Amino acid sequence: MWRRFLTALRLPLLAVLLAAALAGCSGKEKPTYVEEPPEQLYNKALSELLAGDYEKSAKSFDEVERQHPYSVWASRAQLMSAYAFYQGDKYDDAINALDRFIQLNPGSRDIAYAYYLKAICYYEQISDVGRDQKNTIDALDSLKEVVRRFPESRYARDAQLKIDLARDHLAGKDMEIGRYYESHGEYLAAINRFQTVIKDYQTTTHVPEALHRLVECYLALGVYKEAEATAAVLGYNFPGSEWYQDSYALLTGKDLRPADHEGSWISQVWHTVF
């Protein structure tokens, strides 16, 4: 688990007056609003955070800003409110709070962390490849923004590692769909998915299988030159893999051999992929 990075608009007069009016109408005595020092409110929220009461902590950090919007504690409390939401797995609330912090505090020394935490909120919501991958795409975009904006920050390296993992996940989604199409005899649709993996996710772990699945599909369609050329790329780049062994066996079973063919799809993308 990532190391947690630890570091709030005054109550509107109208709300105070409304509360007083309601109290007078009801005849019941209401608690008197008392402004507290910002550091006291902040430390109270921090104690709640450390105690694991994340929802209460987020509200308490918000109270810092409500009571002392122009103090140095306000921006800190904004970020810590987002962090408390994140700790409580309230990712949407955390992202909204982080977007607000980023908008209001573009020059903050903690701005890189705000961008990074937003990316992590998306990243931790990545679901298995059988589900919609919107969070994966959002995570990938946000992680790239961290690397682009803050390449020298301590968050850039971790963001880059997570970019690679997110890309591998998206490639896995295309592989799953491609295998589904192939198993149902929809070879052209399957080929499109496997080609996407090779063109767009060439540094992921799914490329050897994608090449082998292309060999299978091409053979099923009788497109033997493409099958041979794809197997040649597979053998050249992953000679010891089980996927090449399987492709080689399929080809030789039809009296074919891996071979480069000028004009084949794979030869056209060879220099960009490998």
Cα separations (Å) of 269 from 99, 198, 200, 230?
40, 9, 11, 11
Predicted local distance difference test score (pLDDT) of residue 261: 79
62's enclosing H/E stretch is helix 54-67
In the predicted model, is pLDDT for residue 221 greater than 50?
Answer: yes
pLDDT digits (tens, 9 = 90+) for 174-190: 999 999 999 999 999 99
Predicted local distance difference test score (pLDDT) of residue 36: 77
Question: Is residue 30 within 8 Å of residue 23, measured between CB atoms?
Answer: yes
> The tokens of 74 are what?
């306000």
pLDDT digits (tens, 9 = 90+) for 94-129: 999 999 999 999 999 999 999 999 999 999 998 776
Predicted local distance difference test score (pLDDT) of residue 6: 35
Average model confidence (pLDDT) across the chain: 84
Predicted local distance difference test score (pLDDT) of residue 86: 95
In the predicted model, is pLDDT for residue 151 greater than 90?
Answer: yes
Q: 């060879």: which residue's tokens?
A: 270
Fold of the 37-169 domain: 1.25.40
**What is the rounded distance in angstroms from the CA atom of residue 5 to the CA atom of residue 83?**
8
pTM: 0.75
Q: Where are the domains of the chain?
A: 37-169, 175-273
In the predicted model, is pLDDT for residue 20 greater than 80?
Answer: no
**pLDDT over 70, % of the chain:** 85
End-to-end CA distance of the chain: 34
Predicted local distance difference test score (pLDDT) of residue 37: 81
The stretch 69-90 carries a mean pLDDT of 91
Q: Please determine whether the domains at 37-169 and 175-273 fall in the same fold group of CATH.
A: yes
Most confident of 40-49, 57-66, 247-256: 247-256
Phi, psi of 15 (to 5 degrees): -65, -40
The stretch 133-148 carries a mean pLDDT of 93
What's domain 175-273's architecture? Alpha Horseshoe (1.25)
**Cβ neighbours, 10 Å, residue 140:** 22
**Identity (one letter) of the amino acid at 42?**
Y
In the predicted model, is pLDDT for residue 8 greater than 80?
Answer: no
The stretch 64-84 carries a mean pLDDT of 88
**Identity (one letter) of the amino acid at 239?**
P
Predicted local distance difference test score (pLDDT) of residue 129: 66
